[in-house]
Amino acid sequence: MSLGTVSNVLNRPEIVADATRTRVLSVIDSLGYVRAEGARLRDMASSVVAVMVPDLANPFYAALASGVEAAAREADLGIMVCSGARDPAGIARHMALLSSHQIRGAVLASAEGIGRTVSALRRNAVPFVMADQHAPQPSASSVGVDDVAGGHAAVRHLIEQGHRALVYLSGPDRLQQIRDRRRGALDAVAAAGLPPTSLRELPCYDLTVAAGKDAGHRILGLPLRPTAVFCANDLLALGVMQALYEAGLRVPDDIALVGYDDIEFAASAVVPLTSVRRPASLMGHRAGQLLVADTVQDTSPRHRHLVLSPELVVRRSTTGSPSRRDR
């Protein structure tokens, strides 16, 4: 059985004898083959793009997906959302889903295990654009945020408020974003002429409210309690805030808090949360636009790498009173 015969069965079945077609399809079925529609993108008008995020329960990724959807809508395309694939089995399920539909390409949000997903997309010939990416792929466009600058802005603000005993509440160190925010935080400490010991790091097993609450209890148990905490994302900060209030402490009078991402809930917390805003929706929108541009038929993709700037949004969790920049 030649490759040409298999190709004809898949692409031009009308020219293959019934018996041969039946035999080829039987072999394909026994192998569990899933047709990779992405491999034929240049020859078809695909009308759907995918967005792949770690967790839609995180408002940051929901906003990013919304931005991709806006870009797809502008191009008269539909969108498919894939969430939660962190292991090989989950990635395989997503690849089967993408391959069985007419997927034009995918926007892939950076997360743990992203290398496996990138490899799977390449194997299935699915064009992709990286979102929230800090180590651009040479064969794919990307959109990221300068998290070193974001970490620096957060800790510089706390130092300017008079804090000298700080904690950086980090997440899984495998994530480049976590390392970049730490680097920016340490740079701010050094720029202020303070010793590196002024900033203590407490790692978290995840970037969730539950992990933040657990970390808040650990902070309360430290022999030398910090006066300020910089959290690697807003969900951690909200969890810390819960733990502090349950212990009868006040934010920011006893401990000041800075989050990261500036999700929708940050401004509506019991004490509005100072946060480093990453423009998630804009990031998704730009990534979607790059994907559409990279997958235009009869053109060679011109891969581009965009870096967006973060913005410190000051609220009452660090100032104790409404700020002019409190939004």
The pLDDT of residue 255 is above 80: yes
List 105's β-bridge partners, or say none. 49
Q: In this prediction, what percent of the chain has a pLDDT beyond 70?
A: 81
Contact 267, 327 (CB under 8 A): yes
Answer yes or no: are the C-beta atoms of 108 and 131 closer than 8 Å: yes
Do residues 258 and 154 lie in contact, with contact meaning Cβ atoms separated by under 8 Å? Answer: yes
Beta bridge partners of 259: 275
Confidence of residue 314 (pLDDT cuts 50, 70, 90): very high
pLDDT classification of 89: cutoffs 50, 70, 90: confident
Q: Are 228 and 318 in contact (CB under 8 A)?
A: yes
Q: What is the pTM of this model?
A: 0.80
Task: At 116, list the tokens.
Answer: 């496996």
| DSSP symbols for 235-292 | HHHHHHHHHHHHTT--TTTT-EEEEEE--GGGTTSSSPPEEEE--HHHHHHHHHHHHH
Q: Name which residue leads in pLDDT, 54 or 145.
A: 145
Closest CA to 236 of 199, 273, 189, 277: 273
